[in-house]
């Protein structure tokens, strides 16, 4: 079952969405509930990269009315950014004070090593010990995986060094496997104004939509189609399906749409900002933060980007010296490189100029 609700009152929209969903079949009043938003960077939700605090507020109000008393909010921003800054700048410190809810920075959490298939993965204990995890991603594009939503949002439940290692392992397999290891209670997708071209935000697209469902893979496959991708075009979705995590959205999936009068007349499609630069970039196990900084820099530079020749990025270039421009500390052996882990887009722009 997937519930989609359209409206401008975000808190009410979320509350009504959950009220119309089947969450009550799985949630119990005595559960300890952890809410996992997407605060990948320290930027307001209006930029299209982070979860609106109003979405989480709507969840909190629903949980309290359901009888749930033990509620936490947990997150770990991406490598190179501060979760504490994100709590403050994204409105979560105020939310915490208003409802007396603890904010858990997973960057400082202990972890457990779990095994599944060919992977061993370090997972933060808070994500494993909660009774009921509510996954609250933003529906947006990603420069490496095309889509980031429910399944990829769980990457915030692993230590920073493990986030880096995911990239060296190819991202898709580890993301799917992580979803086999962490049990998600329910998904509430913030599709209010996600950036459909870039995961770091800056180009928000107004959709005014909340999407909720039980299974992260089913919800993600539905969301992929909303922005113009077939589920099999998102590699970690097809990998997750092969692991038995869930099924793709289909005409057999029960779909409930609320407040259709507020539904956008024209559906927005993903504009994959990184596509135009693929011919310039030689990538080998690049981390998202580093790669997106490069894409953002090239986008800002515009047409002149083609003048620089090959640009190399990723952990696979450690200890190598290749003729060309290296991006990130992994390419510090290059004669020409922009150091940083990750480097700032502004530094890349200045260096290329």
For the stretch 69-124, pLDDT in tens is 999 999 999 888 899 999 999 999 999 999 999 999 999 999 999 999 999 999 99
pLDDT tier, 56 (very low <50, low <70, confident <90, very high otherwise): very high
Which pLDDT belongs to residue 264? 63
3 state DSSP class of 6:
strand
Residue 270 pLDDT more than 60?
no
Q: Which range (266-275, 283-292, 298-307) has the least confidence?
A: 266-275
Do 50 and 57 form a contact (C-beta atoms < 8 A)? Answer: no
Range with the poorest average pLDDT among 32-41, 121-130, 306-315: 306-315
Classify strands 255-258 and 336-338 as parallel, antiparallel or unpaired: unpaired
pLDDT at site 269 = 57
3-state secondary structure of 329: helix
**pLDDT of 268 over the 60 cut:** no
Topology classification of domain 2-262? Rossmann fold (3.40.50)
Q: pTM of the entire structure?
A: 0.86
Task: Pick the range with the lowest mean pLDDT from 99-108, 142-151, 285-294.
Answer: 285-294
Lowest model confidence (mean pLDDT) among 140-144, 233-237, 315-319: 140-144
pLDDT at 273 over 70: no
d(CA 110, CA 126): 8
Give the model's confidence band at 22: pLDDT under 50 very low, under 70 low, under 90 confident, else very high.
very high
Longest Cα pair distance anywhere in the chain, in angstroms? 62
253 vs 236: CA distance, rounded Å: 21
Average pLDDT for the chain: 91
pLDDT tens-digit map of 130-141: 999 999 999 998
Read off the pLDDT band of 23 (50, 70, 90).
very high
What residue segments make up the domains of the chain, in order of their start? Answer: 2-262, 275-352
189-201, pLDDT tens digit by residue? Answer: 999 998 877 777 8
Q: How far apart are CA 296 and CA 292, in angstroms?
A: 6
204-232 pLDDT, tens digit each: 878 889 999 999 999 999 999 988 888 99
Q: Taking a C-beta distance cutoff of 8 angstroms, is the pair 225, 8 a contact?
A: no
- Across 31-38, average pLDDT: 98
Element (H, E) at 112: strand 111-116
């Amino acid at each position: 079952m997937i519930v989609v609700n359209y409206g401008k009152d975000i808190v009410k929209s979320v509350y009504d969405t959950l009220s119309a969903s089947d969450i009550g079949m799985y949630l119990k009043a005595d559960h300890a509930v952890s809410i996992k938003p997407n605060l990948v960077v320290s930027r307001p939700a209006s930029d299209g990269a982070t979860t609106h605090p109003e979405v989480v507020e709507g969840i909190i109000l629903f949980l309290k009315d359901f009888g749930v008393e033990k509620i936490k909010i947990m997150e770990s921003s991406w490598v190179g950014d501060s979760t504490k800054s994100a709590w403050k700048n994204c409105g979560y410190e105020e939310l915490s004070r208003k409802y007396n809810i603890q904010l858990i920075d997973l960057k400082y959490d202990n972890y457990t090593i779990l095994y599944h298939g060919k992977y061993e993965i370090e997972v933060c204990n808070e994500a494993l010990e909660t009774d009921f995890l509510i996954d609250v991603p933003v529906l947006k594009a990603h420069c490496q995986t095309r889509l980031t939503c429910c399944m990829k949002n769980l990457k915030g439940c692993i230590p920073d060094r493990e986030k880096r290692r995911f990239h060296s392992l190819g991202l898709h397999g580890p993301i799917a496997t992580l979803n086999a290891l962490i049990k998600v209670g329910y998904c509430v997708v913030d599709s209010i104004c996600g950036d459909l071209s870039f995961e770091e935000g800056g180009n928000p697209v107004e959709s005014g939509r909340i999407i909720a469902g039980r299974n992260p893979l089913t919800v993600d496959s539905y969301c992929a189609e909303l922005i113009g991708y077939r589920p099999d075009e998102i590699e970690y979705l097809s990998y997750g399906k092969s692991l038995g995590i869930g099924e793709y959205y289909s005409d057999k999936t029960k779909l409930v749409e609320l407040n259709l009068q507020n539904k956008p007349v024209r559906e927005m499609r993903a504009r994959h900002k990184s596509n135009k630069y693929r011919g310039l970039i030689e990538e080998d196990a690049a981390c998202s933060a580093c790669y997106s900084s490069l894409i953002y820099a090239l986008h800002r530079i515009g047409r002149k980007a083609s003048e620089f020749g090959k640009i190399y990025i990723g952990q696979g270039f450690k200890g190598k010296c290749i003729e060309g421009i290296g991006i990130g500390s992994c390419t510090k052996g290059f004669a020409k490189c922009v150091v940083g882990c990750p480097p700032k887009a502004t530094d890349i722009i200045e260096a290329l100029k």
